[in-house]
Structure 1
Amino acid sequence: MDTPLERIIENDGVNLHVVPSRKFKTITFTAKFKAPLSRNTITKRALLPYVLQQGTESYPSRSSVQLKLDSLYGAVLSINGSKKGNHHILTIRLEVANQKYIPDADGIMDEAISLLKEVIFHPVSENNAFKESVINREKDTLKQKIDSVIDDKMSYANMRLIDEMCADEAYKLHVQGYKEDFDGITASNLFSYYQSLLKEDQLDFYVLGDIDADEVTEKVKGVFQGQTAVKDKQENTESKKQMEQPNIVTEKQQLQQAKLHFGYRTNVTYRDDEYYALQVFNGLFGGFPSSKLFINVREKNSLAYYAASRIESHKGLLFVFSGIAPEDYEKAKEIIEQQMDAMCEGDFTEGDIANTKELITNQLLETMDNSQGIVEMLYQQVAGETERSPQELIDGIKGVSKQEVVNVARKITLDTIYLLTKEGGGQNE
């Protein structure tokens, strides 16, 4: 495997990650701002990706930014927000053609760096505020995003599961924000919040591509001169939740297909040694079409339109998703619970483990074939505050034993069952 060698340099309070790789004919610049999830700032932070794409001082409209991107041989700019554990991540990414592969095209990298610096540090503004017209328009855009989550019943059910499961924890916060906050957000106070974000967030900046590491380091250092950031080292002070009995929540709406979602506490996070075994566990349990959930809930018993699981490795959560006929709730719930019992009892073969390890390894290698995927894998180390290279991750997966999978399965506890069903269907209460 062509494992990228990551060089990390602390510069003016910014962690600069330079990742030379000959695999790509583009250069990817990625800025990741990390701060604790907070109800006071969640909606402002959710709105920022939409606003920041609307222009800079030199390119004061969305169309002029796009014209500049087009002039850089079709460069692509994307900005989005996400959450990892109890942190809110704002990602600004620019992918641009590598001038090495374009005859007579000197200066592309310098222009790209200059544009990205403007997007980050000099968004279009007037009188120390974003443009009022931009804010109002992008609030509408964000409102549509929030509404789309509510309309997508699988996403809605997962959101509601987390609402109930993490009711007293920061992780419950909706990364797309809340419509009731819109009236309190102004062009002025959003701009002020963004200026504080630039100073207070932990910033990790990645440059990946067929590059000269020393040359790029010198070029990028200048972007952040005088932009010293305070490191976000806030520890998770939440106490561990103790469950005597799982919480069962039922919600009824006008719909045909019910959503049955389970939320578990894994008691394992990315920084733990058991993380490798947890990955293999999830692959066996519900991560692939060969998994227990898929075969036993969907295929053998025809109880689900889909049945799968995924882990949130920084918060230590495991989610099970299934779409069922409302009348099949009790049977589907029973069979899902049986699959977890089977995992705890080691009811899987060495062949199952070998197949799952191969699937996970192939998935990781596919991720490494994408520049954005590599950056996300490397950033897992930052979010998890643990040094674990992609190669170490693959080697760790390959080294997991059956007993380690059983041990990690036995640490997992059921927290919440959430059922979204039709009026008059599903669980009787």
Structure 2
Amino acid sequence: MDDISTSILFLILALLICCSAFFSSSETGMMSLNRYRLRNLVNEKNRSAKRVDRLLQRPDRLIGLILIGNNLVNILASAIATVIGLRLYGDVGIAIATFVLTFVILIFAEVTPKTMAAVYPERIAFPASIILRPLMVVLYPFIWLVNGISNNILKVFGYNPEAGSDSALSSDELRTVVNEAGAMIPQRHQDMLVSILDLEKVTVDDIMVPRNEIAAIDINDDWEQISRQLIQSPHTKQLLFRDSIDDSVGFVHARDALRLMARDQFDKNNLLRATKDIYFIPEGTPLNVQLLKFQRNKRRIGLIVDEYGDIQGLVTLEDILEEIVGDFTTTITPQPSDEIHPQIDGSYLLNGNANIRDINKEMGWHLPTNGPKTINGLIVEYLEDIPDANISLRLAGYPMEILEIENNTVRQVRVIPNLYQKPKSD
């Protein structure tokens, strides 16, 4: 009879260890679920996901249920193991039972099931919810009592467990989620999503065409020269000004100019009448804000002005879209930048007016972008003077050689990236 009783006790002990493993894996599985994937499954009317979501709406009650069940079966297992130890080995059996049971629970009821649940949370949490849901109803009075005491203790320390946690993602957190999406999102789409998030960190000053590079027409020039510029211009819209670009008149569309030519009305007066008023953009405007302003005002091009009203540059809707999808090109194979010229020795020749952000993006470099926008501006700021040609320097860890100076600006620079050394942080 004793042998039969001991065998039954062993079976009960094994069952309790299995129950402990269930509660341990359920806790880890529930807490390890991807909440955004769970919400997506709930929206798709997945029954298991909806059941789990209801349980997770009050995590304090769910944790209370799991811990009550887990501690209950562990205490019962300890009591039964003690009885088995006493029957088999007498008083020494208590110590043996304690040691063996601790080892068994640690391996089979804690580490192994929790590791499995952490790796495959959905496979554990979804089936477990079938059992946890009715248990929540059966044990609710006991859970309510335990949670009430626990929550009041937490409130003493300034915590409100019923408020729940804020699961909203910041832009930096969302950027991390996109970057870690792996094969679930194609790399090209990841780059575009990250570029959209980066729009708020980039201003129109970073992508504008500087005023000295704006292709514009002086309406006071000879008419033949104006006609030649309009015909040869690669742009669909051309800026007209009087003597100085700060005295801009407006933009004329190539379509309107061609219409005047077809009607034999192509002269200065008619050209001025065909101009569209100028849309001005304050400098420092973030790209995400400007994109919405372009859409709201039905504009595609604007002039950037500083606090004194002076024109600093020009930006188009296409420039902003290129920050998201990359440069537009009419050829299948991407063309190398006109401002970066690779050399046989591994160095690169850069034009002084090259945009630093574009260089960093194309070459994978880390030149500072929180100050001047061009290589010329960066070098002048670093040296605090207009340098002479044939001067070498190390800027932000990159060895550079100034090759050409023209009109008090750096026209060409040689950069040797293979000698790059990361600057030491203070």
Give the alignment's TM-score, normalised by structure 1. Answer: 0.21
Greater C-alpha radius of gyration: 2
Higher strand share: 1
Give the alignment's TM-score, normalised by structure 2. Answer: 0.22
